[in-house]
Structure 1
Amino acid sequence: MYVDYSSISDEAKVWVYPSSRKFYTTEIEELEQSIKEFVENWKNDDENFKASYQLLYNRFIVLVADDSTSALINSDIDTSVSFILTLQEKYNIALLDKMNVCFKQGEYVQYKELKDFKKLLKSKAVTGKTIIFDNLISNNYDFKNFWETPIEESWYNRFL
């Protein structure tokens, strides 16, 4: 069942899908409708299941599922991944590539391959103070507190 994000617990599971490009203004309304419909129907046979989503920076799709009263099983997760795959195809984007890095440069979000990101660090185009998005976080508490963090305070600091 879809619920407002603010009512989701800190223990809820989180999946962050960074888009290889910013979604166009003309795509946002339709995209949000598709995501909301998916979340509304995800495990709709289980009235105890609560889920939500966020679309952030017109680039990140965040799915959140509170499984404290209703366990998520592999087929539920497979269903969400299948949905993300349909979005990839429809919008001609990459959402599942975890070998890319997203970070802020001023007010803009950059999306780079890891090898290019390492070159930016080496050339000092980005520093330890640069805000990076840790898209590997797995629960809502970490999402709210550590998703956007300076490189020097993240697991990416090993590349400094």
Structure 2
Amino acid sequence: MEFSPASKVWVYQADRELSEQETAQLQPQLNQFASSWTAHNQQLKAAAQVVYNRFIVLVVDESHAGASGCSIDKSVRFLQDVEQEFAINLFDRFNTAYLEADKIQSATREELEELLRTGKINGETIVFNNLVNNLQDFETKWQVPLKNSWHARVFGSLIEA
């Protein structure tokens, strides 16, 4: 399915890596949700995918039908059910995923502050900017140096490139 670069994107990060088995179990549920997702009784052109066994990415091409408040609420309720089923947290926006030796790690806000203070990560460390808004930004600005993400505004005084 082709999506416009302006398609709306939501990225939800799990607080732990999902196993291959969990991902294999979850992906059909995501496919089912995306194929039945509607806004005001209009089918949304949508897709949902597990990425890197850690992120759930929802995409809606709003050139066909726009996501409404009610449809977004449906996605949140669906993801809350996913949280329960898989014993994960998808809504902690301060849980930061970053690359360390080509492996995705995650850190709480406090852990990230400590990693920055001790120099184990820095402004050049690749982080996942889960606040991207559209497909184009997801493809070009999702994985960026910490100094170029929203994290720099929050942790700026601790960042040394």
1:95 counterpart SS class: coil
Structure 2 residue 80 is the aligned partner of structure 1 residue 85: yes
Q: Report the equivalent of 1:69.
A: 64
1:96-115 pair list within 5 angstroms: 96-115=91-110
Q: 1:130-157, CA deviations, whole angstroms, 9 ceiling, x for partnerless residues?
A: 1000011111111111000011222222
Unpaired runs of 5+ residues, structure 2, are none
Q: Write the distance in 2 (CA, Å) between the matches of 1:73 and 1:28.
A: 28
SS at 1:15 equivalent? strand
CA distance in 1, matches of 2:152, 2:91: 23
Match of 1:139 among 134, 142, 146: 134
**CA shift at 1:54, angstroms?**
2.4
Letter in 1 for 2:47: S
Between the two proteins, what is the percent identity of the paired residues? 33
Residue 119 of structure 1 is matched in structure 2 by 114
> Unaligned stretches of 5+ in structure 1?
none
Give 2:51's aligned residue: 56
> Separation in 2 of the partners of 1:62 and 1:71?
17
- Write out per-residue CA displacement over residues 15-67 of structure 1, whole angstroms, 9 at most, x where no aligned residue: 101011111122121100100000011018425x3111221111000000011
Query: Is 1:8–1:52's contact at 8 Å kept on the other side of the alignment?
Result: no
Please say if residues 60 and 66 of structure 2, whose CA atoms lie closer than 8 Å, have aligned partners that are also in contact: no
Q: TM-score, normalised by structure 2?
A: 0.90
Q: 2: CA distance between counterparts of 1:122 and 1:153?
A: 18
Letter matched to residue 102 of structure 2 = E
Deviations 1:64-106 (A, max 9, x none): 0011221221100000000000000000000111121111111
- Which runs of 4 or more aligned residues in structure 1 lie more than 2 Å from their structure 2 counterparts after TM superposition? 44-47
* Number of residue pairs matched by the alignment: 154
Superposition TM-score, scaled by structure 1 size: 0.91
**RMSD of the TM alignment (CA)?**
1.4
Paired amino acid for 2:77 = S
Letter in 1 for 2:69: N
